[in-house]
Structure 1
Amino acid sequence: MDRPVLLYDGDCGFCTASVRFIDRHIPTRARIMPYQRADLAALGVTASRASREVLWVDERGRVSGAAQAVARLLTAAGGAWRPVGLLLRTPPLRWIALAAYRFVSKHRDRLPGGTPACALPPGRAPGTD
């Protein structure tokens, strides 16, 4: 893979609004795409996992999910975003970021831009893979 990929839920208005924020404010060479349009098998990701959490797949095919996907995006963006990403990857901030990510993902259908289509499917919590 020539550059990293950030996968998100393209059916979720909150997720789509978050990606628009990234496009406007965070420089990245990553391809950002809805998981529904990605070749998940080629990326080594299941639809079940992609439906539960944002995923970062680096150039080597390593997959990070939930808050760590966001942290890796920020780290790769460089500039002022890099130290933020590095901090989010370091305990105890890593654990706090995961708790915040789980809270937001659980309630994303009720957040600005969210719709009933944003509700998470039943199953394991984000960040448990």
Structure 2
Amino acid sequence: MRTRSVLIYDGDCAFCTSSVMFAERRLRPRCEIIPWQFADLDSLGTTRERAEYELLWITQAGAIHGGAQAVAKLLLHAGRGWAVPGALLTLPPLRWIAHGVYRLVANNREKMPGGTPACALPAGGRPHTHTSSPPSAR
């Protein structure tokens, strides 16, 4: 079993990376944050296809939450006042609305602030797809 939960995001997407950097600065979640391109997805119990499709939150016990529910778990683990909106996002009908908003944003992330046209391409078609180890700054 892991000692911390893990947040997996698309490190080749400028919008996703900007969003995660914001979360690290403002929310300070108690988790490990890794781009899927550098994660051992097999040992985390997930696939590249799923990691390309949505943000993933993997609990210490190995449960996987994707998309809006990954955002909810991130907020819950940030603590302080962030836990309240995180908890609300797990409850219907907000859960359903959050899912719809998440898909809308994820499907249009190249149009979002910080996004680039490369964000719309499948991972294999992006000009800077990571294939080796993470940058030393991480």
TM-score norm. by structure 2 comes to 0.85
Q: CA deviation at 1:115?
A: 1.2
Q: What is the aligned partner in structure 1 of residue 45 from structure 2?
A: 44
Q: Tell me the secondary structure at the aligned position of residue 71 of structure 1.
A: helix
Following superposition of structure 1 onto structure 2, how do residues 31-110 of structure 1 map, counting pairs within 5 Å?
A: 31-110=32-111
Secondary structure of the residue that 1:80 maps to in structure 2? helix
Alignment partners' CA distance in 1, 2:94 and 2:49: 27
Q: CA deviation digits over 1:45-68, x for unaligned, max 9?
A: 100000010000000000000000
State the alpha-carbon separation in 2 of the partners of residues 43 and 108 from structure 1. Answer: 25
**Runs (5+) with no aligned partner, structure 2:** 123-138
Q: Partners in 2 of 1:111 and 1:11 — Cα distance?
A: 15
Shift of 1:111: 1.0
What SS is found at the alignment partner of 1:42?
A: helix
Counterpart of 2:52, as a letter, is S
Is 1:111 matched up with 2:112? yes
- Cα distance in 1 between the residues matched to 2:59 and 2:48: 18
Shift of 1:78: 1.1
Calculate percent identity across the aligned residue pairs.
55
How far off is 1:99 after superposition?
Answer: 0.5
For the residues of structure 2 that align with 1:49 and 1:119, how far apart are their CA atoms? 16
User: Residue 101 of structure 1 aligns to which amino acid in structure 2?
Assistant: Y
Query: Which amino acid in structure 2 is aligned with residue 24 of structure 1?
Result: R
Unaligned 5+ residue runs, structure 1?
Answer: 122-129
Query: 1:52–1:120: 8 Å Cα contact kept in structure 2?
Result: no
**Taking structure 1 as the reference length, what is the TM-score of the superposition?**
0.91
SS of 2:62's equivalent in the other structure is coil
Cα RMSD of the aligned pairs, angstroms, is: 0.9
Q: Deviations over 1:5-50 (max 9, x none)?
A: 0000000000000011001100212011100000000000100000
What's the secondary structure of 2:80's corresponding residue? coil
Structure 1 residue 120: deviation in Å? 5.8
| Secondary structure of the structure 2 residue equivalent to 1:61 | coil
Give 1 or 2 for the bigger CA radius of gyration.
Answer: 2
Alpha-carbon distance in 1 for matches of 2:84, 2:10: 26
